[in-house]
Chain A
Amino acid sequence: MSETPDNLKYTSDHEWLRLEDDGTVSLGVTDHAQQALGDLVFVELPESGSQFTAGDACAVVESVKAASDVYCPLSGRVAAVNERLQDEPELVNASPYDDGWLVRVEPDEPAALEELMGAEAYGQFLAESED
């Protein structure tokens, strides 16, 4: 079973989002996603400052046998990227919701966050997709 913390928002592409105190939104891949991918060997991150439209691919997570795009469900500007992942992609496996965050976005419309799934809905989504 994978973890789905209560305080986060989720997407059907298995990304999580968290509104931070400074108004930015952190984004990463869920525990379920990192388990499905297996040991990550590389994370490709965007340039800080680049602009994304909701639904754009903003990062790539790569294991030995697969590479997956990570989609940004919000429009906005990249405020920061997790530089540690350049040398330690395994952080995404070890700590998907904390040390393994990917990017921090300044959203154009913070309210859009509320339209995403909560932990319970995502848990349900996972259960259904396993059937």
Chain B
Amino acid sequence: MPYIPHTDEEVQEMLAAIGAVSIDDLFDEIPDALRIDGLDRVPVGLEESAVSRLMQSRAATDTGSVSFIGAGAYEHYIPAAVWDVATRGEYYSAYTPYQAEASQGSLQLIYEYQSMMAALSGLDVSNASLYDGATAFAEACLMAVRANRKTKSRRVLTTRGVSPLYRAVANAIMAGQGIELVELPNRHGVVDIAALAEHAGEDYAAVAVQQPSFLGTLDDVDALCDWASANNSLLIGVCNPLSLAVLKPPGQWGTHGADIACGEGQPLGIPVSSGGPYFGYLVCRQPLVRQMPGRIVGRTVDLDGKPGFTLTLQAREQHIRRSKATSNICTNQGLMVTAATIYMALLGAEGLRRNAQACHHNTRRLAAGLSALPGVEQVFDTYFHEAVLRFDRPLEPVLDALADAGIFGGYPLGDAYPELGQCLLVCATEMRTADEIDAYVETLGRLLSDSRAA
């Protein structure tokens, strides 16, 4: 029997010790009407080798394409050491480190992770992770509403550069508590700082900005940060952690720095993997720490005065504070944080910088090549590692034809940004070779001219 160690003899001896005749007896407290004899609509079990063949064939169905999609999930090279070590059973099959003495490995690793995220973001304190970038954004907004003692406002003013997927998730999560997002209009892909004056004097718990934005563009975060502070709002920065190796980190924005930063941790050693598991990161200034949701590890000493690590500030959390907790979060994304910590240790600041620069240059090369084609133009000039291209025709047939040629051409923006109809968001990370980029340009050129000729 798969994964069941009992022999028939042992089963009989164990039943005798219990004083039961059969295993059926052990379910005698379940009312007869509720007991079932078996499961319908579930197939019979397969041997490991058969499941292996099945999964190999399913995985093979999905391979063979080259992706130029980013939009919040980025394909980066992951050194072999990262997942080799992270999937060791001692990490993979450990529980949440509530028994600190038997969990020093996970606890110290999380402390190192918190330290690395603080260093990258330029802020003081990190938690041990949230589910993904979108829920981290929602939790950052909820945290700001709780933490801002200067206002009772339940509104957060957000740029439309914050991922539309994140805004959708935040709306779904915050709706029950009556907390709402108010959107600032975009101009040339960024917020028009002069237009902020219209909102002066209005009451917002926080202002949220994504840098680089979902469109790859860069906002005047210094001005936004100072504006927020002058209006008694906290400032939430949403950042791709890879970009923080080269772009000004939230802790250094404006005169005082951002109050909270959050985002998607996936670019730090996590495969794109159909959307998950990833992890959300959340960092903040020290005075806000008690409003931060999720687990936090602290360094302390043991009875002998020897340094050690433990979960701390647990009175914020649901298992103690129940209905008054900062969030209902319990399980986080510990295994992903394990991989990300090893990834950051291996790459260091220099490795991250090189990757960030390589992505930037690859995307520039791609955008230059594609926008040189007739019927394609580049929309914004200043961007990090994603570019927006406007086409002179509907995108869907173009993207379908590209996919048939083994190329995922990018993310169409029209649904989320009606003002960017027939616009495509493209990304070429350091994984894309010059040949692959050139092949995309050449294939698209052929497709566009064929359909023009037709």
Contacts and interface: CB of A to CB of B under 8 A. Distances in A.
The answer to whether any beta carbons of A and B sit under 8 Å apart in the complex is yes
Interface of A: 41-42, 44, 47, 62-67, 69
A66 B290 contact: no
A63 B315 CA distance: 7
A69 B290 CA distance: 15
Given A42-B290, A44-B290, A66 B320 contact: yes
Interface residues of A, dominant DSSP:
strand
B256 interface: no
Given A42-B290, A44-B290, A66 B149 contact: no
20 contacts: A41-B315, A42-B290, A42-B315, A44-B290, A47-B149, A62-B315, A63-B315, A64-B314, A64-B315, A65-B314, A65-B315, A65-B320, A66-B315, A66-B320, A67-B315, A67-B316, A67-B320, A67-B321, A67-B324, A69-B324
Listed from nearest, the 3 A-B pairs whose CB atoms lie closest are A67-B315, A62-B315, A67-B321
B303 to A, nearest CB: 15
Contacts, number: 20
A7 to B, nearest CB: 32
A47 B316 CA distance: 20
Interface string B305-324: 00000000011100011001
Contacts of A65: 314-315, 320
A13 to B, nearest CB: 15
A41 B320 CA distance: 15
Contacts of A41: 315
Contacts of A66: 315, 320
Contacts of B321: 67
A69 B324 CA distance: 10
Interface of B: 149, 290, 314-316, 320-321, 324
Contacts of B149: 47
Given A62-B315, A66-B320, A69-B324, 10 more contacts: A41-B315, A64-B315, A65-B314, A65-B320, A66-B315, A67-B315, A67-B316, A67-B320, A67-B321, A67-B324
B342 to A, nearest CB: 31
A42 B149 CA distance: 18
A35 to B, nearest CB: 18
B255 to A, nearest CB: 24
A64 B316 CA distance: 10
Nearest to B149: A47
B148 to A, nearest CB: 12
A58 to B, nearest CB: 14
A62 B325 CA distance: 13
A41 B315 CA distance: 10
A90 to B, nearest CB: 16
A42 B312 CA distance: 12
A41 B310 CA distance: 15
A41 B290 CA distance: 12
Nearest to B150: A47
Give the interface centre of B149, B315, B320 by most chain A CB atoms within 10 Å: B315
A63 B320 CA distance: 11
A66 to B, nearest CB: 6
Contacts of B290: 42, 44
B300 to A, nearest CB: 11
A47 B148 CA distance: 12
Contacts of A62: 315
Contacts of B314: 64-65
A67 B316 CA distance: 8
A131 B146 CA distance: 39
A67 to B, nearest CB: 4
A109 B314 CA distance: 38
Contacts of A67: 315-316, 320-321, 324
B441 to A, nearest CB: 59
A67 B324 CA distance: 10
A81 B324 CA distance: 23
Contacts of A64: 314-315
Contacts of B320: 65-67
Contacts of A47: 149
A42 B320 CA distance: 15
